[in-house]
């Protein structure tokens, strides 16, 4: 049973027991209703306590029931709350751990609420592109006050129970055992009548209309493409201006409206996609993990330093290895500077800074890292350099240590073959800046052991990354796809665009940064180095030569104050470059191309559909386990707009036949070889199916 009933003297206790977060699934909802009815039917029972087993009261809806018949099966949560609210005997919610979403709405439907310190209280539905649908927007403003309630609902962020202790939300804060304290409180109010109902409270706020208009204006300015925050204001406004039941109807109508929006579907897709990414079909959930108590990083440069910070942030001691003292000192100084910047912004205390720096140490000797549980190399992207490092690691690392490479394109199986323990080798592709970016592409080699894969996936969660598994291929999921994106960006320059137009078009679509600003940030020399390798390895693949011409001028991006754009000292703003624009126009003339006006729609379609087509190949080849994994790579690592759900989800919303039609149209242009439709895309489009 996911909700149990027991009697302790004159108090009935209904316990939610649906791990991991006591989600309010059908069986749990039914158990609550049955428990309330049993308590009412027993004359010896004076009051009812609802409490959560394990780590919390309730995290809300049971996500395992989403999109299943049980999600809509009575009793719905609204029905449960009405039965609780109408109980003839007082119902007390005893809160610990978490009371979020439907869990908080259930508590608000109870007559009384008690809590312990440290519980997280939230209505996070806005983060899924919806709003609370079981009375949260109507009850929370009544009991907490208009302004704090609206802030909680619009942000979706949790507030600690300690901070709410002085409000009407909690009738008593419990110290000591929660259940004992809740039952003692229940007996103290057992005979109180009439029973208090949050729905009966009047919202008192001077000039509420003025405040709500201010809130509308503020939300409209910051919500961007997401409709849910604005609808949250409208739902709360109904709590102010309408009778409770009428406000509930407004809330429900807005909820149903939001559920159907593409933005909400995209957010829910990302929510489930992140959870799906952690599941590897042939790796059992109970696989015994290797202990990761210490780490080592080879290289103290930008990537190495950022990777080291991830471990320190998670409380794991890490040694950073460099070849020369000067490089090591510079790397450690950069790490400290990054932490000091966070401290200046109020994100860290001095104590936290000192603790994290205390977990990071430097060394010039491989012998000092031999006992680490995992070592990640973050050296230059060259197979010869990687070979030298892994030969050394194979010699010095203890048995059972995980040997990881931060390579962004190179063959993990070749790297593993440099050792006598290929089963311990795995790819951990961090994204720059590694201490900030959420994505961790985990590359599974042909001989990577299952426990190494499972351990690395668990480590991703420990260091607060979204881990996505990729098979071995040139560029893995993300960089293999982005190569096609960058190729199209180059071809667009040859045909009539300038960098600023391309960047503005894709940024208007929702990307955080266009391809040319992104290249300037990453360093144009990195792409140049990779292209030189590909000219040899893939002579049949065509590229625009404009990027090579740019690099031949030494315009490597922000680090040289000149790339696709010009940059000023101390200013990261990209200024269009006359020199570069003239170079582009001259190159088109040299190729005999008559430049034409290109629409923003064509720019977006060519860039995004290039991603989609390559993604379909990757999916068909088994490099990615599922389409949502590709979307998670692009949402968390490449700035793809969250409200569009990732390239594969976006293609589904456009319609795969429409995507395929556009690909056929672009294949009639200058580079038909870049537009060969992926067989899976053609197959799904003809069958009327989708990627997800």
| pLDDT above 80 (res 70) | no
**Among 65, 105, 263, 614, the one annotated catalytic:** 105
What CATH number labels 478-545+591-687?
A: 1.10.1040.50
Under a CB-based contact definition with an 8 Å cutoff, are residues 174 and 181 in contact?
yes
Under a CB-based contact definition with an 8 Å cutoff, are residues 366 and 387 in contact?
no
pLDDT > 70 in the chain, percent: 100
pLDDT average, residue stretch 524-539: 86
Q: Where are the beta strands (DSSP E) in 282-406?
A: 295-298, 318-321, 360-363, 374-377, 402-405
Query: Tens digit of pLDDT for each residue in 198-245?
Result: 999 999 999 999 999 999 999 999 999 999 999 999 999 999 999 999
Query: Tens digit of pLDDT for each residue in 321-353?
Result: 999 999 999 999 999 999 999 999 999 999 999
| pLDDT above 90 (res 62) | no
Label residue 67 by pLDDT band (50, 70, 90): low
Q: What's the CA gap between 131 and 550, in Å, rounded? A: 49
SS3 of 361, please? strand
Q: What's the CA gap between 324 and 557, in Å, rounded? A: 27
Sheet bearing 374-377, strands edge to edge: 360-363, 318-321, 295-298, 374-377, 402-405, 425-430, 439-443, 466-470
Look at residue 572 in the predicted model and tell me its pLDDT: 85
Look at residue 17 in the predicted model and tell me its pLDDT: 97
Q: What's the CA gap between 4 and 631, in Å, rounded? A: 40
Strand partners, 429: 441
- Domain covering 3-259 assigned CATH 2.60.40.10 in the classification: no
Q: What's the CA gap between 292 and 208, in Å, rounded? A: 54
CA trace torsion 159, 131, 461, 334 (10° rounding)? -70
DSSP H or E segment with residue 303: helix 302-313
pLDDT average, residue stretch 242-249: 97
Under a CB-based contact definition with an 8 Å cutoff, are residues 678 and 614 in contact?
yes
Instruction: Please choose, from the candidates 502, 503, 507, 556, the residue with its C-alpha nearest in 3D space to the C-alpha of residue 529.
Output: 556
Query: Tens digit of pLDDT for each residue in 557-580?
Result: 999 999 999 999 888 899 999 999
135 to each of 82, 141, 255, how far by Cα in Å?
A: 10, 10, 11
- For the chain, the domains span 3-259, 295-470, 478-545+591-687
pLDDT average, residue stretch 513-532: 91
**Among 125, 251, 263, 605, the one annotated catalytic:** 125
Instruction: Please choose, from the candidates 502, 522, 505, the residue with its C-alpha nearest in 3D space to the C-alpha of residue 563.
Output: 522
What is 295-470's CATH number, 1.10.287.1080, 3.40.50.150, 3.10.620.30, 3.40.50.720?
A: 3.40.50.720
Q: Burial level of 402, CB count in 10 A (0-12/13-18/19+)?
A: buried
Look at residue 432 in the predicted model and tell me its pLDDT: 85
Q: What's the CA gap between 507 and 503, in Å, rounded? A: 6
Q: Quick one: tokens of 444?
A: 């599974």
Look at residue 681 in the predicted model and tell me its pLDDT: 98
Q: Quick one: tokens of 569?
A: 């000292």
The reply to whether 263 belongs to the active site is no
534 to each of 474, 545, 615, how far by Cα in Å?
A: 10, 13, 20
Query: Tens digit of pLDDT for each residue in 608-649?
Result: 999 999 999 999 999 999 999 999 999 999 999 999 999 999
User: Mean of the per-residue pLDDT values for the chain?
Assistant: 96
The reply to whether 125 belongs to the active site is yes
Q: Is 420 left (phi over 0), alpha (psi -120 to 50) or beta?
A: alpha
Strand partners, 571: 568
CA trace torsion 380, 385, 391, 392 (10° rounding)? -60
| pLDDT above 80 (res 56) | yes
Q: Burial level of 53, CB count in 10 A (0-12/13-18/19+)?
A: middle
Q: How many CA atoms lie within 13 A of 262 on its CB side?
A: 14
Label residue 309 by pLDDT band (50, 70, 90): very high
Q: Which range has the worst mean pLDDT, 74-88, 206-220, 305-319, 536-550?
A: 536-550
Place of tokens 């420990």: 462
pLDDT average, residue stretch 149-170: 97
pLDDT > 90 in the chain, percent: 93
């Amino acid at each position: 049973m996911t909700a149990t009933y027991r009697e302790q003297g004159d108090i009935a206790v209904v316990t939610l027991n649906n791990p991991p977060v006591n989600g309010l699934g059908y069986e749990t909802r039914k158990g609550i209703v049955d428990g309330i009815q049993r308590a009412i039917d027993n004359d010896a029972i004076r009051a009812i306590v609802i409490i959560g087993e394990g780590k919390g009261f309730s995290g809300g809806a049971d996500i395992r029931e989403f999109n299943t018949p049980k999600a809509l099966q009575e009793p719905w949560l609204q029905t449960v709350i009405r039965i609780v609210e109408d109980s003839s005997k007082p119902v007390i919610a005893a809160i610990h751990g978490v009371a979020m979403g439907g869990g908080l709405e259930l508590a608000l439907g109870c007559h009384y609420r008690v809590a312990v310190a440290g519980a997280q209280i939230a209505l996070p539905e806005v983060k899924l592109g919806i709003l609370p649908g079981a009375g949260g927007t109507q009850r929370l403003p009544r009991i907490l006050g208009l302004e704090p309630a609206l802030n909680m609902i619009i942000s979706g962020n949790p507030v600690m129970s300690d901070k709410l202790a002085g409000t009407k939300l909690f009738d008593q804060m419990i110290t000591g055992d929660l259940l004992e304290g809740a039952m003692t409180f229940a007996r103290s109010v057992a005979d109180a009548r009439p029973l208090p109902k949050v729905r009966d409270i009047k919202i008192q706020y001077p000039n509420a209309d003025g405040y709500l208009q201010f809130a509308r204006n503020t939300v409209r300015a910051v919500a961007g493409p997401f409709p849910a925050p604005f609808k949250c204001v409208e739902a709360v406004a109904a709590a102010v201006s309408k009778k409770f039941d009428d406000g509930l109807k407004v809330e429900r109508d807005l909820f149903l409206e939001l559920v159907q929006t593409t933005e909400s579907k995209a957010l829910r897709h990302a929510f489930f996609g992140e959870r799906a990414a952690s599941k590897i079909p042939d790796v059992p959930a109970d696989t015994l993990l290797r202990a990761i108590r210490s780490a080592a990083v080879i290289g103290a440069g930008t990537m190495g330093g950022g990777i080291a910070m991830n471990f320190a942030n998670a409380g794991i001691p890490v040694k950073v290895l460099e070849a020369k003292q000067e490089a090591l000192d510079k790397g450690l100084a950069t790490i400290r500077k990054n932490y000091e910047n966070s401290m200046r912004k109020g994100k860290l205390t001095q104590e936290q800074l000192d603790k994290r720096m205390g977990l990071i140490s430097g060394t010039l000797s491989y012998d000092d890292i031999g006992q680490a549980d995992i070592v990640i190399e973050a050296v230059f992207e060259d197979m010869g350099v990687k070979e030298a490092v892994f030969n050394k690691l194979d010699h010095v690392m203890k048995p059972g240590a995980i040997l990881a490479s931060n390579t962004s394109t190179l063959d993990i199986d070749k790297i593993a073959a440099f050792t006598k323990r290929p089963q311990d080798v795995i790819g951990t592709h961090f994204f720059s800046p590694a201490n900030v970016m959420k994505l961790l592409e985990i590359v599974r080699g042909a001989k990577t052991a299952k426990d190494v894969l499972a351990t690395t996936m668990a480590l991703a969660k420990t260091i607060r990354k979204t881990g996505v598994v990729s098979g071995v291929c040139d560029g893995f999921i993300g960089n293999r796809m982005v190569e096609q994106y960058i190729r199209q960006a180059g071809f667009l320059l040859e045909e009539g665009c300038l960098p600023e137009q391309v960047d503005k078009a894709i940024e208007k679509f929702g990307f955080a940064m266009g391809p040319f600003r992104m290249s300037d940030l990453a360093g144009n020399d990195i792409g140049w180095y990779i292209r030189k390798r590909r000219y040899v390895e893939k002579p049949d693949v065509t590229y625009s030569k404009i990027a090579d011409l740019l690099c031949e001028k030494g315009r490597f991006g922000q680090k040289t104050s000149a790339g696709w754009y010009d940059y000023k000292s101390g200013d990261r703003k990209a200024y269009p470059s006359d020199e570069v624009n003239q170079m582009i126009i001259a190159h088109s003339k040299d190729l005999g191309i008559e430049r034409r006006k290109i629409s923003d729609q064509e720019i977006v379609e060519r860039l995004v559909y290039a991603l989609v087509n390559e993604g379909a190949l990757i999916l068909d080849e088994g490099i990615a386990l599922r389409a949502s994994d590709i979307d998670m790579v692009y949402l968390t690592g490449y700035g793809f707009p969250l409200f569009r759900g990732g390239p594969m989800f976006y293609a589904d919303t456009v319609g795969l036949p429409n995507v395929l039609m556009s690909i056929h149209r672009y294949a009639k242009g200058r580079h038909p070889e870049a537009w060969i439709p992926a067989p899976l895309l053609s197959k799904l489009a003809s069958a009327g199916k989708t990627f997800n």
